[in-house]
Amino acid sequence: RPKFAPFNTCQDATTGTSGASGASGPKFASFNVCQDPTFGMGHYQSPVPLVTNAPLNHAIGSPGIVSSWTEWQPLKEVIVGRCELSCKPGNEPAFEAKLKSREHALFSAEPGLRSDEAIATGQDELAGLVDVLEKNGVTVRRPDVVDWSKPYSTPDFEVPCGNTSAMPRDVLLTVGNEIVESTMSWRARFFEYRAYRTLLNEYFERDPNFEWTAGPKPTMADHLYHYDFPHEARGGESDNVRSELAEKRIYIHTEAEPIFDAADVMRLGRDLFVCNSFTTNRKGYDWLRRRFNKRGLRVHFLDFPKDTAPMHIDVLFVPLSKDTVVLNPVRPPRPWVERMLRENGWKVIWGVSQGLPTPPLSQCSEWLSLNVLSIDDKKVLVEAQETRVMDLLSKHGFEPIPVPLRSIAEFGGAFHCCTADVRREGPLESYFP
């Protein structure tokens, strides 16, 4: 079982003392020291240069049924998850570490089906969301009902049950005409793609331009996890230790295999931002970088050192239009990120939260307040009780639409998480001049 790999600290990115800018073209390289993919990977190194100069391949980006380049272009078709037969996963290494504390209700909860009541409430909320989307002219598709309560094993591990079909954003990464099935990173989520196979087959049959790809399936054998990762749930390590580790980008996963959850990626046209986290390692980032560099996109490395159990970028870095991004004040990115955004003409809004508690059997935080879904570059779906978020967005010229969606946190997220883009109108563009 692995110990932590030797780790190079990246002083520039940590302290924010980056090089000078001034060259023409997008201002990235001088800031993003940690774009260097060799950074912090120990023995794992990639020879591929990061910022691509490859021409954009418009031919393969021509719009069909599947086409979505950003988080904010006008939404036309979307997958909304479902809660039926969702489960509480068993205590596998990555899940346990995410919970941090023994006090967490999920730590002692029996793995298996979630309560009928939680499932019914979640389904009602999702029905309300579907209604709002359809009233706004969006075609809504739903995944298959999958029984997640069956135990399964592979040659490398066994688990008492799966997870859910409620969180398509974690599984499906839409980039233009391509949908990538993510590798996932929890054993309980290994087979989660199965909920979307009927839909993906249909899109493949109907849309000749649809490119259907998948990240390499990890074995998720023991070598993928830091079994010595400290967390209170296994006996009393404090959050301080975890802060030090987060600062050094040491997470629950090793670099043994590439892993990524699709919800660790934000799409800003030609630029994709990927979060190193408990669900995406550096090798997973590098898989995405190589894949999309070939298509002329630029793939950037982000991390959020104040987050001691980072999982998914969509409460941390939330783009709302071609020049506005919301950041999380409690878990900000490294200092170069804000400067890079501002120097490229972006407005940075610091997010807010009502601070309301999440359901006991949820592993999400009150910052789901920022887990919004844009219908276009003005209209944003916001949780109905998050009035502070709505006020903030209105002040900046957006049109928040309140939708009740609180109990869905038990299934792993909110608006952004429980949806996955199929089609947004509009071409591939660069928003970093």
Q: Give the span between the Cα atoms of 157 and 1, in whole angstroms.
A: 14
Closest distance to ligand ARG from the beta carbon of 50 (Å): 25
Positions in 383-412 near ligand ARG (CB under 6 A): 412
Q: Give the span between the Cα atoms of 202 and 185, in whole angstroms.
A: 26
Q: Which is nearer to ligand ARG, 170 or 257 (CB)?
A: 170
Which listed residue (312, 314, 364, 377) is catalytic?
312
**Pick from 417, 420, 422, 428: which binds ligand ARG (CB under 6 A)?**
417
Which listed residue (87, 364, 417, 418) is catalytic?
417
Does the annotation count 261 as an active-site position? yes
Q: Give the span between the Cα atoms of 273 and 214, in whole angstroms.
A: 19
Q: Does 218 bind ligand ARG (CB under 6 A)?
A: no
Q: Does 278 bind ligand ARG (CB under 6 A)?
A: no
Q: Which positions ≥6 away from 298 have C-beta within 8 Å?
A: 26, 28, 50, 51, 52, 270, 271, 272
Positions in 159-188 near ligand ARG (CB under 6 A): 167, 169-170
Region near ligand ARG per CB under 6 A, out of 172-180, 238-246, 344-352, 363-371? 363-371
Does the annotation count 83 as an active-site position? no
Closest distance to ligand ARG from the beta carbon of 164 (Å): 10
Q: Give the span between the Cα atoms of 207 and 81, in whole angstroms.
A: 22
**Pick from 13, 33, 83, 315: which binds ligand ARG (CB under 6 A)?**
315
Closest distance to ligand ARG from the beta carbon of 267 (Å): 14
Q: Which positions ≥6 away from 232 have C-beta within 8 Å?
A: 100, 101, 102, 238, 239
Q: Does 263 bind ligand ARG (CB under 6 A)?
A: yes
Region near ligand ARG per CB under 6 A, out of 16-24, 210-218, 287-295, 306-314? 306-314
**Pick from 80, 138, 364, 403: which binds ligand ARG (CB under 6 A)?**
364
Q: Does 314 bind ligand ARG (CB under 6 A)?
A: yes
**Count residues contacting ligand ARG (CB under 6 A)?**
15
Q: Which is nearer to ligand ARG, 167 or 320 (CB)?
A: 167
**Pick from 143, 215, 413, 426: which binds ligand ARG (CB under 6 A)?**
413
Q: Does 311 bind ligand ARG (CB under 6 A)?
A: yes
Region near ligand ARG per CB under 6 A, out of 28-36, 111-119, 307-315, 425-433? 307-315
Closest distance to ligand ARG from the beta carbon of 166 (Å): 9
Does the annotation count 156 as an active-site position? no
Contact letters for ligand ARG, residues 17-56 (x by CB under 6 A): ----------------------------------------
Region near ligand ARG per CB under 6 A, out of 153-161, 171-179, 362-370, 373-381? 362-370
User: Tokens for 215?
Assistant: 């990240």
Residues making contact with ligand ARG (CB under 6 A): 167, 169-170, 263, 311-312, 314-315, 364-365, 367-368, 412-413, 417
Residues identified as active-site: 261, 312, 417
